[in-house]
Amino acid sequence: MQDLAGRTVLITGASGTVGTACADVFLAKGARVVLTDRVAPASHLTTHPDVQFLQVDVTDRAAVGAAYESALGRFGRIDAAVLAAGVEGPVALVEEISEADLDRVLDVNVKGCLFWMQACLREMKPRGGGSIVALSSISGVVGSASLGAYTLSKHAVIGLVRAAALEAGGDGVRVNALCPGPIDSDMMRRLDKALSDRDPQRVRGQADAAKALPLQRYVSAGEVARMAAFLCSDDSGSCHGGTYMVDGGFTAR
């Protein structure tokens, strides 16, 4: 199942917890992988013979386009893309969000997703096939107090996915949103601390926050990566324009 042998998959945010997990899972399933980020991922990835690493900032539209062309020069085509680059933004009430903080979150989480999606669509649509998986969040479908900028950006990603899906389906390109719950990661540990500092009822950090999930634990990056692999594979051939939750049951409420 989910055999990706001979496929080329592009992963943005490759140095992050989810990006690294995706790279490991896709390589294990036989794919060739193009990794992009501002900083290099783990050395076991950059030295792998089936990996190309391209240092690029997702907010730089020209650099994104050049990186995509470089990947095509190496592998000939991009069969699927996992757009995982993202930042959490400020922990602040809505009325406290600064314009600078908002711009940064939207630049990375929304514009960065758009720029890579545009590069993919321009190559995939004329070829008549491909799969794009954009990382949103549970914060893309529900509100998150003290995370207004992040919530705004992740709702926008789902809107972008739906628009692209309506446009690209007739050309054989599938576009979906993947929405993880809280992931056991450095980003979540930073958020746990910041949110616990603001909320005296959340003083135990992850131990308390995990209780909000029916499974009583945070999501693993590997679980998110395996769902991404499914959405990039032929096994998900009719999955298009959807929002796929990997959230331990959080949004079942």
Active site residue 150: yes
Report the C-alpha gap between 20 and 60 in whole angstroms: 22
Catalytic residue among 68, 150, 218, 244: 150
* Tally of CB atoms within 10 A around 34: 26
Domain span(s) for CATH 3.40.50.720 in the chain = 8-181+220-245
pLDDT digits (tens, 9 = 90+) for 132-169: 999 999 999 999 889 999 999 999 999 999 999 999 99
Superfamily of domain 8-181+220-245: NAD(P)-binding Rossmann-like Domain (3.40.50.720)
Both tokens of 197, joined, read 């500092």
Q: Which of 219, 11, 9 is nearest to 135 (CA)?
A: 11
Both tokens of 154, joined, read 């992740």
Both tokens of 194, joined, read 């910041």
Report the C-alpha gap between 157 and 139 in whole angstroms: 11
The residue-averaged pLDDT of 30-55 equals 97
**Taking 50 as the threshold, does the pLDDT of residue 35 lie above it?**
yes
- Write down the residue that tokens 């926050």 correspond to: 209
What are the strands, taking DSSP E only, across the chain? 8-12, 32-37, 51-55, 80-83, 130-135, 173-180, 243-246
Length of the chain: 253
Report the C-alpha gap between 71 and 81 in whole angstroms: 12
Full-model pTM: 0.94
DSSP letter string, 51-63:
EEEEE--TT-HHH
pLDDT digits (tens, 9 = 90+) for 79-91: 999 999 999 999 9
**Taking 90 as the threshold, does the pLDDT of residue 208 lie above it?**
no
pLDDT digits (tens, 9 = 90+) for 96-133: 999 999 999 999 999 999 999 999 999 999 999 999 99
